[in-house]
Chain A
Amino acid sequence: MDLSFMQATLLTLLGGLPLTLHLTASSILLGGAGALVLALMRTSGIVLLSAPARAYVFVFRGTPLLIQLFMIYYGLGQFRPALQDLGLWSFFRDPYFCAVLAMAMNTAAYSSEIIRGGLASVPPGALEAASACGMRPLMRLRRIVLPLAIRQALPAYGNELVLMAKATSLASTITLMEVTGLAGKMIAQTYRAVEIFACAGLIYLALTLILTRAVLLLEWWLSPRRPRRQPAPPTICTTGEPA
């Protein structure tokens, strides 16, 4: 057991961190947008919208991410001529886009359920009050529903973010050399599995530590009990239009 080896290992593995972060950020952003749309479809009360959203969540939550990744990468790879005709092949040829697509679609399903839970937690009284103030549905969504729902959903969503950051390790199975991919390669060269995987684990640990702290900070910032610099003026009802 030598320390210089572990230090060298850490430094090599850190070379894969940018890719890990790229994968995490892209899939979370894309997946988050998808999740919001899915959750709104699901709670719209319109069967034509809610049924597809329900089916989507059922499929993507019910199958392992690894299988989704393989289906998109190796599965669609078998339909190259068809994809080339559609002009989509340059997208599916690239393992990075395949990985982002799989992870974004997966996290969209999970996150939409988290957001749906948040939406359901908005008290009906708040909605009625907003309507009574003359807010239209879109403004009500923006000003009342989403802020309350996001605050409720944030702890669970933080969990999902951590899961996604770690799920990027699956990208190594489709030749992307992120932290886990590099670790596997180093083990292949040195056969020192314990030290190298421990270093890789340490990097993920640091990453999730930062992520969970960030979510906690956001929770605090959104908290209604946070001391604000200036107390809001006591306007009771406003539609946002100048009086």
Chain B
Amino acid sequence: MKTLILASTLLLAAVSATIGSAATATAQTKPAAITIATEGAYEPWNFTTPGGKLDGLEIDLANDLCARMAVRCTIVAQDWDGLIPALNARKFDAIMASMIVTEKRLAVIGFSEPYAPTAAAIMVEKTSPLARLPGTGTTVDLGGDPAKVKAALDPIAAQLKGKSIGTQTATSNTTFLEKYLKDSVTVREYKTTEQHDLDLQAGRIDGVVAQKSSLTALLAKPDYQAFTLAGPTFVGDVFGKGIAVGLRKDDTVLKEMFDKAILAAKADGTIDKLAQKWLKTSLMN
């Protein structure tokens, strides 16, 4: 069996090495047109309207940034868990999908300046005992004093014992659950946040962890009157340095263009205006 595994890994190694070397760097000139990928299933950041059009804060922002950079942009939707591999396979040039800058992602792709800070929260049913999770209304900085983090998380972990919590696969929310609450909760991973919201409504899971801005927008909808945020808001550590445009590491020209455009959009209040429009709050906590 061991030799079989070894032989087959050798064969596969040869195959994937050939595929890997096919992708080579292109010339570094200012592009005339770029393709930006989003997920199209993360309201209100980026979503698909019933008519099939992409809409949301990041769609508006992408159009604004493209105008500032003076390039033609095509925005496409792509499954969340395939975004980074597809970027590196040159299927598109940039990711704007509420993607958080994390160490792990920085190992494989580059990021622009962040255009939004990030925070995560837990959503549960109002009638559930979890609705009284300790620490509601406070913010826990996971990157801060370890003793404080532990003091804040321990009572939450105790109350979540044996519960199933849904998250979207390949997100920092999953990393958060696995790093801090692995011993007490069963993590159920979903392809999209819409799917875990459905399962929360169906009562298959006891809560979901997602970005606070997205959950807040969800709770404003009539379908979600029975739900509420519980426990503290989580920032720092696995939740990284904020939301930014994902770019290939070697695309330094594109990064410069995005950085300049984002800083300009921040400076003239465009991003704040979009946050007010889509998130009903200011982004700059």
- For residue A211, CB closer than 8 A to chain B, the reply is no
Contact of A77 among B19, B169, B202 (CB under 8 A): B202
* Interface size classification for chain B: 35 or more
Query: A6 contacts B188, CB within 8 Å?
Result: no
* 8 A Cβ contacts from B1-28 to A: 5-6, 8-10, 12-13, 15-17, 19-20
By a CB distance below 8 angstroms, the chain A residues around B204 are 77, 93, 95
Given A3-B6, A7-B6, A93-B203, answer yes or no on A195-B16 (Cβ-Cβ < 8 Å).
yes
What CA separation (Å) do A191 and B104 show in the bound complex? 9
Chain B residues whose CB sits within 8 angstroms of the CB of A217 once the complex forms = none
Tell me if A's interface is mostly helix, strand, loop or mixed: helix
B76 contacts A by Cβ under 8 Å:
no
Chain A 180-198 near chain B by CB (<8 Å), digits 1 or 0:
0100110111010111001
A74, A173, A181: residue with the most chain B Cβ atoms closer than 10 Å: A74
- A69: interface (CB < 8 Å): no
B173 to A: closest C-beta gap in Å: 12
Closest A residue by C-beta to B8: A202
Interface of B is mostly: helix
One digit per residue, 1 when the CB lies within 8 angstroms of any chain B CB and 0 when it does not, for chain A 1-32 equals: 10100110010000000000000000000000
Is B184 close to A, CB under 8 A?
A: no
For residue B48, CB closer than 8 A to chain A, the reply is no
In the complex, are the beta carbons of A77 and B199 less than 8 A apart? Answer: yes
The CA-CA distance from A193 to B86 in the complex, in Å, is 10
Q: Is the CB of B81 within 8 A of A77?
A: no
Is the CB of B251 closer than 8 A to any CB of chain A? no
Q: Number of residue pairs across A and B with beta carbons under 8 Å? A: 77
CA distance A6 to B12 in the complex (A): 9
A74 to B85 alpha-carbon distance, docked (Å): 28
Q: Is B170 an interface residue (CB 8 A)?
A: yes
- Assess the B84–A175 pair: CB atoms within 8 A: no
Residue of B whose beta carbon sits closest to that of A3: B9
B contact set with A: CB distance below 8 Å: 5-6, 8-10, 12-13, 15-17, 19-20, 81-82, 84-85, 88, 104-105, 108, 166, 169-170, 174, 188-191, 195, 198-199, 201-204
Residues on A facing B (Cβ under 8 Å):
1, 3, 6-7, 10, 74, 77-78, 80, 93, 95, 173, 175, 177, 181, 184-185, 187-189, 191, 193-195, 198-199, 202
Query: 25 A–B contact pairs at CB < 8 A?
Result: A1-B20, A3-B6, A3-B10, A6-B13, A7-B6, A7-B9, A77-B198, A77-B199, A77-B201, A78-B202, A93-B202, A175-B189, A175-B190, A175-B199, A185-B169, A185-B170, A185-B189, A188-B81, A188-B169, A191-B88, A194-B20, A195-B13, A198-B16, A199-B12, A202-B12
Known A184-B81, A195-B13, A199-B9; 5 more pairs at CB < 8 Å:
A3-B10, A7-B5, A77-B204, A191-B108, A193-B82
